[in-house]
Amino acid sequence: MSPDPHISDLRQRLEHLESRLEEKLGGMDPATRSLPHHQRSVTDIRAKTKSVRGKLARAEGPGLEDLKSELEADWENLNQTLERWIAHVDTDFEHRK
């Protein structure tokens, strides 16, 4: 059975999101990166990413149709969480200049 294109696309989007997170972290000053609120946000994003990855692994077999809408909702939540955090980091950076 060939992989579902929706699931393949979601995997690619998830990989891109993880790359964006690591890129943002790599560009941050270590002192800023170690602030508790940033650490909590990154921990939350990574936990959500892990959850979506787990659901993607289960999406290979029967019940895929039931998981698709749940995976899409999880993806939207994760993506919005990352976008809000990046905006917060950028705002913090502008205020510290």
> Residue 92: which domain range?
64-97
In SS3 terms, the chain reads as: CCCCHHHHHHHHHHHHHHHHHHHHHHHCCHHHHCCHHHHHHHHHHHHHHHHHHHHHHHCCCCCHHHHHHHHHHHHHHHHHHHHHHHHHHHHHHHHHC
Tell me if 53 is assigned to some domain. Answer: no
Tell me if 9 is assigned to some domain. Answer: no
pTM: 0.84
Tell me if 50 is assigned to some domain. Answer: no
Tell me if 79 is assigned to some domain. Answer: yes
Tell me if 56 is assigned to some domain. Answer: no
Number of domains in the chain: 1
Tell me if 81 is assigned to some domain. Answer: yes
Tell me if 48 is assigned to some domain. Answer: no
Report pLDDT for 92. Answer: 79
Please list the pLDDT of the chain residue by residue as tens digits (97 residues): 556 778 889 999 999 999 999 999 999 989 888 999 999 999 999 999 999 999 888 876 666 777 888 899 999 999 999 999 999 998 877 777 6
